Amino acid sequence: MILAIDTSCDETAAAVTDGAKVLSNIIWSQASQHAQFGGVMPSLAQRMHRERIDWVINRALKTARTTPEALDAVAVTTGPGLAIALEVGIQKAKDIAAKYDLPLLPINHVEGHLLSSLANKQFDLILPCLGVVVSGGHTEIVLIKSLGRYQILAKTQDDALGEALDKAARMLGLGYPGGAVLEKMAREGNPKAFPLPLPMARREEQASFSYSGLKTAMWRLTEKVKGNRRELSKQEICDLAASFQYRAFQHLDRITDHILKQRGLTVQQMVVGGGVAANMELRKRLRKLGKEHNLKVTFPYSSKLVGDNAAMIGLAAGYKPIRDLRYMNTNEIDRKPRWSVEEI
């Protein structure tokens, strides 16, 4: 039984897991506090994590009907993420591990997203497996060779997919973070209403993502549609949202499809994680892609496992042998803001 903690960005999260089983998953989001800045403010995130972490941990233990004495280990996200935010969770995890003489497992946040769809499923991956992580900070296609052995096949050159959706939402006056609202508006819009460029068209062999050109095109288009009016009409917002989302997802689709075709991968399963995996249109597209390539496509079973959470950190810790860690020097555990899954 593992107590897991994640304070990598703007969610203060703690969970209790037992292998792949989620016993509790508590998330206190700070998103509304950061909304006024249009993005995550690191110093504010750190302060809020400090204020909320004890409550969140106690709640996670209580919901799981357990106590620290009954735990086998503590797991904490040590990266990637915001350095001063990560620090809060790491320090708290060290304190608990020391107080109750528990091994401490440093966990990679992206590995958590990669494995999040295995929650309550006993790690039943068909290996090797294709992993897709789409969040506010990451857009990565990863080859899961085995649990703990990962190879990045594609990543973004600039913005992450969620970040791009958030920026488009902001241009349309939909607030922050706007991915979910953009999806809602897009449902009422025509995805072919406005022509936006497909990123990396005919450059698929580079196997990388780029959303900055699409973002600039969206800004120009929005200004043009607005003309000298102060606001867009509701239908214009819906059409613009649908057009942007369509291209953004088509880009993800194309690169993933290209990788599957060109790399001669013998994968039979695709696991998807990260905040953007909450999007129904994206799920539909990836399921279709999976069908074309004979892949089983797996998403997290609950919306609480899609965005940032600590249950996925417990899961990523759950398959690691903890026996030998008891004598690990916890002083060596430190934040790694740019930790890649390839370096696990």
Enumerate binding residues for ligand KG4 (CB under 6 A).
9, 135-137, 162-163, 165-166, 177-180, 183, 274-276, 278-279, 307-308
Across 204-213, b (16+ Cβ under 10 Å) vs e yields beebbbbbee
Is the Cβ of residue 71 or residue 142 nearer to ligand KG4 in the bound state? 142
78 is a contact residue toward Zn ion (CB under 5 A): no
The span from the CA of 301 to the CA of 195, in Å, is: 35
Interatomic CA distance for residues 40 and 34, integer angstroms: 5
Residue 166 site contact among Zn ion, ligand KG4, none (CB < 5 to 8 Å, cut-off depends on kind) = ligand KG4
Of 134 and 270, CB closest to Zn ion: 134
Does residue 11 interact with Zn ion by CB under 5 A?
no
- Residue 314 binds what, of Zn ion, ligand KG4, none (CB under 5 to 8 Å, by partner type)? none
Q: Say which entry of Zn ion, ligand KG4, none residue 344 contacts (CB below 5 to 8 A, set by partner kind).
A: none
Instruction: Output 162 or 189, the one with its CB closest to ligand KG4.
Output: 162
Q: How far is the CB of 134 from ligand KG4 (least distance, A)?
A: 8
Among residues 6, 308, 310, 311, the one that binds Zn ion under rule CB under 5 A: 308
* Position of minimal CB gap to ligand KG4: 275
For the sheet with 149-156, list strands across it.
208-209, 149-156, 139-146, 129-134, 269-273, 296-298
CB 216 within 8 A of CB 248: no
Instruction: Count CA within 13 A, CB hemisphere, residue 57.
Output: 24
**Shortest Å, Cβ 27 to Zn ion:** 11
Q: At what angle do helices 234-262 and 179-187 cross, to 10 degrees?
A: 110
The site partner of 191 among Zn ion, ligand KG4, none (C-beta below 5 to 8 Å per kind) is none
The count of residues in the chain is: 344
Q: Do the beta carbons of residue 200 and residue 210 sit within 8 Å? A: yes
Residue 111, interface with Zn ion (CB under 5 A)?
Answer: no
Bond into 321 cis (ω within 30): no
Residue 137 beta carbon to ligand KG4: minimum distance, rounded to whole angstroms: 4
Tell me the backbone φ, ψ of residue 193, rounded to 5 degrees. -65, -40
Q: Which of residues 114-153 bind Zn ion (CB under 5 A)?
A: 135
Tell me which of ligand KG4, Zn ion, none is bound by residue 279, counting a contact when its beta carbon lies within the kind-specific cut-off of 5 to 8 angstroms.
Answer: ligand KG4
| Chosen from ligand KG4, Zn ion, none, partner binding at 140 (C-beta under 5 to 8 Å by type) | none
Supply the minimum distance, in Å, between the C-beta of residue 141 and Zn ion: 16
User: By C-beta, is 135 or 279 nearer to Zn ion?
Assistant: 135
CB–CB of 240/189 below 8 Å?
A: yes
The distance of closest approach from Cβ of residue 219 to ligand KG4 in the complex, given in angstroms and rounded to an integer, is 18
Q: Confirm if 139 and 280 have CB atoms less than 8 A apart.
A: no
Q: Which H/E stretch holds residue 153?
A: strand 149-156
Helix (H, G, I), strand (E, B) or coil at 164: helix
Rounded to whole angstroms, the Cα distance separating 90 from 192 reads 47
Out of Zn ion, ligand KG4, none, what residue 241 binds, judged by CB under 5 to 8 A for its kind, is none
Rg, the chain, Cα only: 20
CB of 111 or CB of 308, closer to ligand KG4: 308
Q: Which does 276 bind (CB under 5 to 8 A by kind): Zn ion, ligand KG4, none?
A: ligand KG4
Which residue, 285 or 293, is less far from ligand KG4 as judged by CB?
285
Q: Which residues bind Zn ion (CB under 5 A)?
A: 135, 308
